[in-house]
Amino acid sequence: MDKAGKVFEPIATGSVAESVIHQIEAMIVSGILREGTKLPSERALSEQLNVSRPKLREALKQLEKDDLLVVKQGERSEIAPLIGSAMTPAFQELYGRHPSALFDFLEYRREQEAFAAGLAAKRATKADKEILTEILAEMERSRIAKDFKAEHLADVQFHSAIVAASNNSTLIHMMASIYQLTKRGVFSNRLFLRTMDGVGQKLHGQHCNIAQCIFDSDAEGAAEAARYHLDYVESSIRAGQERDARERLGQKRKFMRKS
């Protein structure tokens, strides 16, 4: 039995603090705990985890040390910033002004969101679908109220929720970085507002179609609907720009006739 006697491995029951760290890290990676999310109080959290407060604090201290948590006395701990930026602030400024950058950006988004929509159609949970339904309702509310800022925010939340429903942590993270550009208004909001103006109803229909394909677990349909939507957004922006150019020419002609 000497031969078989060497097949056992040392038992390694992790410490309480290690187990806590492991669970919180897993929740960060899977997107359940996003950057900025505040944790419950230490007392509440130790109760939920069924561990003592000193041991919980040991774990939280380690997470703070690893730059995953921000801890301040008197305030609840919160998840640290997780998203780096693919662009420096200076490049973001230039990128936002560069005319064709917007279309490159839309092209990239189109492919990523088609991918995400396909995955979401396969993997979305009941909770994911309810979130999508709520955001769609909020978009419609803010569109009717002509609250463009709220409508724009809801639009980003909608696309972000689809990516979340893909349950692919790498895609979630990389797209969060992309959506941050949109949230910050790297591209002039005027471009988006022109797109929305007059075609909001149609865009809403497309959003509903994407969601319906996800609800129906139609992966190909969801990917195609997402691709179609982003194509439509791009062509609307192009049409708006061309309309602007024609109006500028018309104003110039009118001015020349007066003199």
Partner DNA sequence: AAAACTGGTTAATTTAATTTACCATGGCTA
Partner DNA sequence: TAGCCATGGTAAATTAAATTAACCAGTTTT
Positive or negative CA dihedral for 45, 51, 57, 59?
negative
Q: Considering the complex, what minimum distance in angstroms separates the CB of residue 29 from DNA?
A: 22
Asked if 15 is part of the footprint of DNA (rule: CB under 7 A), the reply reads: yes
Asked if 48 is part of the footprint of DNA (rule: CB under 7 A), the reply reads: no
The single residue among 23, 30, 37, 52 that binds DNA, judged by CB under 7 A, is 52
132 Cβ neighbours under 8 A, 6+ residues apart: 124, 158, 161, 162, 165, 211, 214
d(CA 16, CA 21): 9
In this chain, which stretch among 38-46, 100-108, 142-150, 216-224 interacts with DNA, using CB under 7 A?
Answer: 38-46
Tokens 């009717």, located at residue? 144
Choice between 43 and 258, CB closer to a second copy? 43
Identity of the residue numbered 175: M
* H helix or E strand, kind and range, residue 89: helix 89-97
Phi, psi of 18 (to 5 degrees): -60, -40
Q: Considering the complex, what minimum distance in angstroms separates the CB of residue 5 from a second copy?
A: 4
Footprint of DNA on residues 54-93 (CB under 7 A)?
A: 54-55, 57, 60, 71-77
Asked if 51 is part of the footprint of DNA (rule: CB under 7 A), the reply reads: yes
Q: Considering the complex, what minimum distance in angstroms separates the CB of residue 2 from DNA?
A: 10
Residues that bind DNA (CB under 7 A): 13, 15-17, 39-44, 50-55, 57, 60, 71-77
